[in-house]
Structure 1
Amino acid sequence: MNKCPDVAAVLEGLLQVVKVEYQSSGQLSSEVLHSLHLLHGQSLLNALDLIDSKKVTKVISSSGRWVYQVTGSSGTPYVCLPNSIFCQCPAFKYAVVKRRDSVMCKHVLAAHLSTAMGTNEEKNVSDEYIMDILAHMD
């Protein structure tokens, strides 16, 4: 039996460390950043840029349903589902699903990191708005 943890378990553990470190000091240690970079490569730098640019929004409906909306570097807003690695972006389809070069795209990584760090923006919307977002996902 393989005793190696899977990537999802490693990422979840790292996100917990990110949360604790960022809440206590307002920054991430070089060790945590190095670990994240080993797992995500260039996507980490791109995700951190999206976070610094305030491009990650948690869109919350009045009933409590929510999704992430992450505006990509091209200005296109992508929907990322909570507790998932799904994203509408082309990188998800090609690098994550088809080629399996990446664990997740930069948009999903930015959403998970910003939540762990407590830095994502929040936008309250109607249930209809969330339903419309979900109905128009590719």
Structure 2
Amino acid sequence: MNYIIEETTKKLFEEVKKSKRENDSVSDDLMSALNCVFGQPLLSAFDLVDRNSVTKLTTPNRRELFKCKHILAVHLSIALQCCLEEKIAEKNFDAFLYEQ
């Protein structure tokens, strides 16, 4: 059962990414599918994405951390390629990690 849910969500995010790339938007059908899978949390996730509240921190060694406690918002911002990006020093990575 978990495998089915995982594969479904993976496919949905791939479709979001494809839709954004090809049409610069997310279709109503895709929004409906996202809503069927995620329900109410989807609204708050899109709100965070719309307000540019998802930041990806990256170190020179390519370690990544997202400053956002809403995992759905993180996945949406990745698929929509709209998260803010901030480079941080390697030595600061652990401090940011423990803030989360």
Please say whether Structure 1 and Structure 2 have the same fold, judged by a TM-score greater than 0.5: yes
Partner of 1:121: 84
Instruction: Decide which structure has greater helix share.
Output: 2
Aligned-residue Cα RMSD (Å) equals 1.7
1:135 shift after superposition: 3.6
Separation in structure 1 between the aligned mates of residue 97 and residue 55 of structure 2, nearest angstrom? 15
Separation in structure 2 between the aligned mates of residue 5 and residue 65 of structure 1, nearest angstrom? 27
Which one-letter code corresponds to 1:132 in the other structure? A
Separation in structure 2 between the aligned mates of residue 32 and residue 127 of structure 1, nearest angstrom? 38
What is the SS of the residue equivalent to 1:6? helix
Partner of 1:60: 58
Which one-letter code corresponds to 2:29 in the other structure? E
Q: How does 1:88-103 map to 2 (within 5 A)?
A: none
**CA spacing shift, 1:9–1:54, aligned 2, 3 Å:** same
Q: How does 1:35-114 map to 2 (within 5 A)?
A: 35-70=33-68, 78=69, 107-114=70-77
1:133 shift after superposition: 2.0
Partner of 1:31: 29
The unaligned stretches of length 5 or more in structure 2 are: none
What is the SS of the residue equivalent to 2:44? helix
Separation in structure 2 between the aligned mates of residue 42 and residue 36 of structure 1, nearest angstrom? 10
The unaligned stretches of length 5 or more in structure 1 are: 71-77, 79-106
Which one-letter code corresponds to 2:82 in the other structure? T
Which one-letter code corresponds to 2:77 in the other structure? S
